[in-house]
Amino acid sequence: MTIELSNEIWNSGFPVNAWMVQQAQANAVTNQQQIAGQIALLFQIADQVFSGPDAARLQKYVGGHVKVPSYLANVLNALPAGTHTDQVGPAAYFRPSNADISAWLAGADSTSCPNCPTPEEVLSAARLSIPSIGDLIESHRLIAEGYTNPDGSHPALVLYEAGANLHAGFQPWGPAANLANQLPGMYDAYADDLVGELVAHGVERVHWYSFMTEFSPQGFAAYGCWNNMDQTIGLPVVGPYLDQGAPKAAAIYRGPPLSSNAPSALSLFRTAGANPVSLEIDPPVLGSIVAAEVDLQTTGHSLASLFYNRAPATIPAGNGMVLLTFMQGTPTQVVFPQPGPIATFSIPVPNDVDLCGREISVQALHFSGLPGFALSNAQDLRFGR
């Protein structure tokens, strides 16, 4: 459970900001001191509610202003001594520059927009702003590292909102902005540009904004990760990107890149007995499609299935065949059979950090078209980068 006092207290468009300014004046303190006092009060109440065994469930968050890093620093400095803060951070959006938008609107009137951009031009202009986000996030990372909790820890850098802000109001470039959200290039903007920038600057978690926006031609709030509630995408999301009309959602489901010290993916050959050497499998890189082939010409059978378990084994299976993967008490998983003479398999591997470093042993079963069966060599796999 993460708690934060209000949302964007610094935002002059929100009533909470007006109340804070008024109270700061009445109490003869700075605006940040007034805000810090109210945050401390909320944290005290939360600590009372989440006491005893529930204390570990509570995460306390202090939000910042991405373009004014000093706002977060001043609020943290004004908190009472000994205040524990678990997470801090701003929002981070990429969007076209004001200069781009002004150029697009030049000569526009109620009936025409001679310089309005294409969807591709909107996206291209927005992506150019992503490196500058990294500089602003870096300032907040240093602020997080500079705040020390009573237990010696530092708050995590967490973004309370992030994503593409192609909000055009009712300006004439709005329809192009809405379509830009659905371009395949938006996946690259998230997965390659934005996520990489945030990871490079120490962001530990992102709350993507927003869940869904109805992208009608007259729409004006082009934020959503989904276009409508009926939309679906195939899972797991792997590279290269397959366009399904929801590039933001796909990039988010793809997940962040693995750290540079994550183990590399491996595929190691192993065999025994009279098993035909027929199975080849690529190393299982997370977030990719792993290719496997079984050469059925080695035995003359017509079909092959892959099966795997969590451990290697050497168990005689008759006719000189040896079972090379088995673990007592763990069910063996089977991949749907494919025909020969070269049975091919394409297996999507989720970009799931929980899989990183896990090992399985894979073997192929040759069957059909001839009496009996054959077991292939094994490939011992390790999931990784």
CATH number, domain containing residue 275: 2.60.40.1930
pLDDT of residue 221: 55
Q: Tell me: do 187 and 58 sit in the same domain.
A: yes
Point out the residues of the chain with pLDDT beneath 50.
Answer: 217
Domain extent, residue 152, equals: 2-206
Using a 10 angstrom Cβ sphere, with 0-12 exposed, 13-18 middle and 19 or more buried, the burial of residue 327 is: middle
Q: Tell me: do 33 and 144 sit in the same domain.
A: yes
Q: Tell me: do 76 and 158 sit in the same domain.
A: yes
- Residues 5 and 17: beta-carbon distance below 8 Å: no
pLDDT of residue 214: 58
- Rounded to the nearest integer, the mean pLDDT of the chain is 93
Q: Tell me: do 33 and 173 sit in the same domain.
A: yes
| Nearest CA-CA partner of 186 in 286, 95, 285, 257 | 95
Structure tokens at 30: 């700075």
pLDDT of residue 240: 87
The whole-angstrom separation of Cα 227 and Cα 245 is 8
Q: Tell me: do 178 and 293 sit in the same domain.
A: no
Q: Tell me: do 199 and 272 sit in the same domain.
A: no
* Upstream peptide bond of 341 is cis (omega within 30 degrees of 0): yes
pLDDT of residue 228: 77
Angle among Cα 89, 169, 177 to the nearest 5 degrees reads 85
Q: Is residue 240 part of a domain?
A: no
pLDDT of residue 116: 97
Question: pLDDT tens digits for 36-81?
Answer: 999 999 999 999 999 989 999 999 999 999 999 999 999 999 999 9
pLDDT of residue 362: 96
Q: Is residue 153 part of a domain?
A: yes
| Nearest CA-CA partner of 248 in 220, 227, 218 | 227
Q: Number of structural domains, the chain?
A: 2
pLDDT of residue 77: 97
pLDDT of residue 215: 55
Question: pLDDT tens digits for 170-185?
Answer: 899 988 998 898 899 9
Of the residues 158, 187, 206, which one is the last residue of a structural domain? 206
